[in-house]
Structure 1
Amino acid sequence: GYLEFIYFIRHSAFALTDSGGIQEETTALNIPCLTIRPSTERPVTIWEGSNKLITVDDIEKEVQLILNGKGKTGKIPKFWDGQTAGRIVEILEGIFYAETFRG
């Protein structure tokens, strides 16, 4: 299942994929990700995260870089901190209380 997948990603040196979702998971876990695609619909994983777009011809070189500690590193993007639900609750409470007291 999903939790087992996350466990394996978290304990991997890197991920090699063509999946969009895995680009996000590896960025959130700060695990290097090599994505075999010419583009991505998740560019934040490239700009800020640990994802890198490569070709099949690049695989060996990029894997060696990662294994030698010279692969792409990134940071977890702003708001990817697991606190989204709390921020939504604060916003909704603010709206509710504003409506209640304006009333």
Structure 2
Amino acid sequence: MGSYTYFRRYEPDQEHAIYIRTNITTDKQEEILNVNNLAKSSKFYRLANWNISPSEDLLAFAEDKTGRRQYEIRIKNLQTGKFTQDKLVNTSGDIAWFLDSD
């Protein structure tokens, strides 16, 4: 995107990906989403899509916890590391930001 490069990695003993970003100026890495932690409380878990806001401060992601492809979209504030209370339920899982989405 802008100030970061984004990638995922898998740990040998874990089923799901860990999403990471690297600051292109400082080369500092930051874990932005550990899907293994999200999946712990569900018998079924699928991360469908994820998208970073234009300011790179927010991460929106679509998750399916039932296997019915009825996705819940959640938002994580990457500055604080906390999830917002905002959720969209029963979605297709598609995510898009407006250019002024923050």
Identify the TM-score tier after normalising by the shorter chain.
Answer: under 0.3
Greater RCO (CA < 8 Å, at least 6 residues apart): 1
Question: How does the TM-score come out when normalised to structure 2?
Answer: 0.23
Higher helix share: 1
Larger radius of gyration: 1
Pick the structure with more strand per residue: 2
Q: With the length of structure 1 as denominator, give the TM-score of the two structures.
A: 0.23
